[in-house]
Every structure is written in C-alpha cells, then in structure tokens.
Amino acid sequence: MNRATPLIELRSVSKSYRKGGETIDAIADIDLELPEKGMVAIVGPSGSGKSTLLHLIGAMDRPTRGEVVVAGRVVNGLSQGELTRFRRRTVGFVFQTFNLIPNLSALENVALPMEFNGAAKSERTKRAKALLERFQLGHRLKHRANELSGGEMQRVAIARAIANEPRLVLADEPTGNLDSKTGALIYELLKEISRERTVLVVTHAEPLAAMADRVLHLQDGRIGA
Amino acid sequence: MGMIVLGLRNLLRNKVRLVLVAILIGVPFFLLLAMNAIGDAVQRQTAVLAENVNTVLQLRARGSMGHVNMVGQDRILPQDVPEKVRGIEHVERVEPYLLAMAPITPPNFVMHVGLAPTAVKRLESHGEAGNPRIIAGRDLTPEDAGQDVAIIGQGYAQWAGIKPEDMGTATLTVDPTRTHPVIFAMKRPTRELRIVGMYASGYVFGDLQLFMPIETFRSIYGTDQGTSWLFVKVDSVENVPLVAQRVRETVGYVADILVPESAAVFTATTSRTVKQLSGAGGLLAIALMVIVVFFVLLMTVRERAREIGTLKAIGASDGGVTVQFLTEAVALSLLGGALGLLLFQAVGAMVTGRLFALSIGPFLPSHYKPLFESLAVSNQVSASVLLLVLVVAVVAAVVGSAYGVWQAVRLSPLEAMKHE
C-alpha cells in the first residue's frame, strides 16, 4: 500500500443524531487516511458506527463536523448533482441483501451504472458480459435475480459495483446473507478486486477481516488500536 | 435500456395489479367519454333546435289555436298571409301548416298535419323539435304532393296497429266526423291514407302526429283556403325582432305572432345545464383517475424504496428516477384510457343513455325533459375523442403521480442499506 497518496481522508469527522432529546455520537472525531488500492475491513460490535462510517465515506450521508475527502474531493461540500456524479464515477456499492433490480437480467443489472455514466450500449454490454464471465457467470447473463442463487446474486452485485471502474468499493456486510462456503468465494472476489482499487468492507466475519490489508476496529464511534 | 424502458418494464412486475389498476382507471375514462358523448349529443340536438326554432316565427289566427276542427279554436289565417310574409326582407322561408285533431282512446287525441312534403316537420304543442327521425320507411318527398300518403309517429302507429315493417303497404283511415269533447264533427267523407314512413320524436305527444301533403289535408277536411299556422324562417337570430315587427305591420292584427322566446330559454337553460353537468361529470372522472394514480404511485414508491435507494447509490439521478416513475404513471393511465375506449365502443351507446337519464336528466327543466328522453348518443371514437383520452391520460398521470415522484426523488441512497 502506498501511504503517500491517500484515497480517503477523514479530518476530525463526527456524526451525531438526536434521539429522544438525547444526542448520540455515532462517529466521534475520527481522523483517518486510507490508501489507493487494498482491502480495509471495518469491524466492531453492533452500534459502534461501522455503517455510519461507510455511509460518510460513500457520500450517502453528511458529517455533523469535519471533512470527508475522497479522491481529492471534499464530499461533504458537494451539491446533490455533484454527489450523484461522485457516486456514479468514484464509488461502487455492494449490499448485504445484494439489491439487484429484480426485473432486469444479470447483464442489464451490471450495465445499469454504465448507462447512468453515459457509456454507449455496445460498450456497456461488452464490459458487463466480460465482468460476468470473469466472475464465472457467463452462463447466467440473461437470468433475472430470482433465478440466481445468493452467491450468484452477490457476484453480479460485485460486477455491478466495479462496472464503472470506481477507485473505491464499499461493501456493507457482503456475506451476511450467505452460507460460509459461498461467503468464502465472495471474500476471494473482494480480495481480487482490491488489487485494482480500495475495497472497504464492513463485516462481522473474522475470515474476511483476516484477509484485509488493514482492519479498523470501531468502538463507540471511535477507531481503536 | 433507459429509465423509460425500465419504467415500462416495471409495469409488468405484477400483472394482476396491472389489470386491476387499468380497470380502476378505465372506468373513470369510460365515465369521461360518456359525459363527453352526452355533451356532444345535447349540443347537436340543441343546434338543430336553434336552427329550426330560434330563427322561426309562428303566426296563428288571432286568439285561436288554428286547429280546423277544435271547438272555439278553429279560426285560421287568411289565404293571402303567406304571400305577404314571403315578401318581407330577411325572410328565408315560409311554411304553411294545417292542423286537425283526431280522437283516439279517450280522453287522448292525435294531430293530423298538412304541410309541404319537404317542410320541416315540427311537433305540435312543443313546437321546438323539428324533423323527427324516420325509423322505418321513408320521409315525404315532393312527388307525394297531392297524394293520399302520410308519415306517422310511432305512438300513433302503435295505437293504430301499424308496424314498422308495414311501411308502404299499411293504411290509415282518416274520419273527420269523429268527435271528442273539444273536437267537432266535420261532415266529410273518410279517406284512406297509405303510410310510407314512421318517425320517432323522443317524447310521447310528439309521436302522436300524422304528417300528410297539405293538398291532401285540404281535400280531406274541406279547408280550401287559409292556414292554421305559418312558420316564418328568418335569416338570422338578430333579424327576428325586425321581421316580427314587419310581419305585424304587413299582416295587421289578424295574426298572433309567437316569437321564439321559449326556444331561447331552452338553449340558455337546458344546454347550459347539460354542459355544466356533463362537465362536472367529466371533472369527477378525471379526479377519480388522479386519485387512483396517486395511490398506486405512492404504494409503488413505498414498496420500492430500497430499489430506488439502490438506483441512486449506483448513480441514477433525480431526473432519471422522475422519468422512470412518470413513464410508469403515464403508461398506466394510457392503458386505462385504452380500456375505457374499448368499453365505450362496446357498451357506450347503451350505458350512456341510462347514465344521462340518471345523472343529467333529473336536473333538466321539467318541460324540456321529454325532448331528451331518447337522446341519440354516438359511441364513435373520433380523432378528437382520441386526443381527449391522450391529453387526460397524460394530465391525470402527471398530476396524480407528482407526490409519489416527489417522495421517490426525496429518498436517500441510504434506503438501499436498510435490511429487511
């Protein structure tokens, strides 16, 4: 990992919620730098702020204080339209529940982010097909989500996440809905794609955390040792 | 595959729901088309009335109904009146009528009318409706002048036992000697008339008349000279008062002149009432469509919140989400419109008549209701009707889906992270 050129920088970032008249600090004054490429696991007990940290880095949420800088851009200062373009080009998401669009085929699901990014049809079809073949899903191109197994759906979701060749992939409990054998395959895949980009994974799965280049332990909204 | 295609494909996710929603939107569309058809039919009928009545003056012998055999009401206009009136500026046409009453089942009676075969066949007592629809056989033609032929109203025909299929061969005997408390006997021979056509007028008394050539009438009743009623067609509504004044000056006080005040009242009240009611019905139909689209879209957005969040997380813009849901709403609405059109073509004419009788008929001024009891509603789908469906479908979809689309646009990509 090259520590000289961080992809992600968090500068005194906090995120607070008001709940029942009480202020809860989901993320408390975090400073963090993460490099370009490699796999980073975020672990910690429930409620420790793992998902909130992921949302802040993925520009899905704004911090209460501090700055989130991704790929050289202060994302908490971006307008709604700029945020959309940022998510489209810089970040790929992998969800615990796969979140494939149910009435689209595997190929169409993977091609969708490229369409949002303005790629020509021939180009996006070619690339979506290549990605699915790379993930051993060449025989499932025309299948819809309900015709795929959990592992296949998550592989399609990972292919979709890297369709626009983003520099960052965020995965929220990507093996949470899979059995251990299928989960291991997904770990391998995430590890593989992290050679070309930064993959930030929120996980409870120790084997996945063990494969990461770096592990961030979160406790009460703070990064532990 | 753009957001438009995605929106269209979303429609097919739940086919049962699609059919149900199409029906829910299609029924108000049917209602809208029915109201539109009623408005058109009334407008057509009103236009005919306006053409035939608004510009027509009626002359009768002073103080008399002018019926040649009615007790105390048998004075008729002098022979020279039609010629005098014909010479007045702005007079387009002059149509002399001769009328006699004939008793049927007591205490009812029918009306025998003599007129030029091509004259407008006006219905006695109302006088507003002209040229009733021929429903069997044919109308009188110039060749019938002086012949023993007639056309008969369907009510009169029913009483006389004459059937529509008998036109051209059926006969009716006119007997001037028959009396009634208000009809005096005329010592004249009976005459057998051949019935060549049957008409329907849309109201009961209008269907109790017999139209025959005026020469035939004169011959039967021995009325060699004079006219019961004289209808004077003026070239425009604006010139009616002027012509009325000139008629008064020309023919003197031998005649009562009836200006078309009642017809003006009719067009001003009935037509306006029907337009307002059919317009209200149309608005109600559109409101129903908007409500259906509103709830369907709201439900859809709630069901697909996570999917919308996912689309946003992978790069869909607010505009893209808007296009997707608008496409879905417009397609649903158009599908409902197509269903409404099919329904209207299939049962429109039948149902619309009843709808009119139930929804608009009761609000009409009572003395004009009969004129519309058999309203001829067309279920033809014209280009303007198609345009109406198209415009209403798009407007209902846009208005009805606005809140749902707004909700979808407001959804955060964080929705994608929510676990079931």
A55 and B419 within 8 Å at the Cβ level: the answer is no
Range list of H helices, A58-179: 80-90, 106-116, 121-134, 150-161
The reported pLDDT for the residue numbered B357 is 67
Contact A160 B314 (CB under 8 A): yes
- Residue from the list A61, A81, A101 with its beta carbon closest to the beta carbon of B414: A61
Q: Measured between CA atoms, how close is B1 to chain A, in angstroms?
A: 8
Interatomic CA distance for residues B130 and B109, integer angstroms? 20
- What pTM was computed for the model? 0.67
How high is the pLDDT of residue B379?
72
Residues 271-330 (B) with a CB less than 8 A from some CB of A: 306-307, 310-318, 320
pLDDT beyond 70 at A175? yes
**Among residues B346, B330, B341, B342, which one has the least CA distance to residue B289?**
B330
Residue A1 CB-half CA count within 13 A:
18
Smallest CA–CA distance from A84 into chain B, residue: B315
Alpha carbon distance B113, B18 (integer Å): 60
What is the structure's pLDDT at B122? 85
- Arithmetic mean of pLDDT, A207-221: 89
Asked if B214 and B140 count as a contact pair (C-beta separation under 8 A), the reply is: no
Looking at per-residue confidence, does B370 or A69 come out higher? A69
Residue A1 confidence (pLDDT) above 50: no
Please report where in the chains the tokens 């849309």 appear, as a residue.
Answer: B202
- pLDDT score for B105: 83
pLDDT at B265: 61
| Residue B117 tokens, joined | 């075969």
Q: Which of A51, A88, A115 sits opposite B1 (nearest CB)?
A: A115
d(CA A42, CA B29): 56
Cβ within 8 Å, pair A111-B310: no
pLDDT at A2: 45
Separation in Å, CA of A195 to nearest CA in chain B: 21
pLDDT of residue B322: 92
Residue B307 to residue A58, Cβ atoms within 8 A? no
Interface ipTM: 0.91
Q: Do A87 and B315 touch (CB under 8 A)?
A: yes
Average pLDDT over chain B, rounded to whole?
86
Q: For chain B, which residues score pLDDT lower than 50?
A: 367, 420
Cross-chain Cβ contact A60/B313 below 8 Å: yes
- 3 state SS for B362-387: HHCCHHHHHHHCCCCCCCCCCHHHHH
Contact A50, A202 (CB under 8 A): yes
pLDDT tens per residue, range B373-398: 556 667 777 888 888 888 988 999 99
Share of chain B above pLDDT 90, in %: 48
With a cut of 70, say whether residue A155 has pLDDT above it: yes
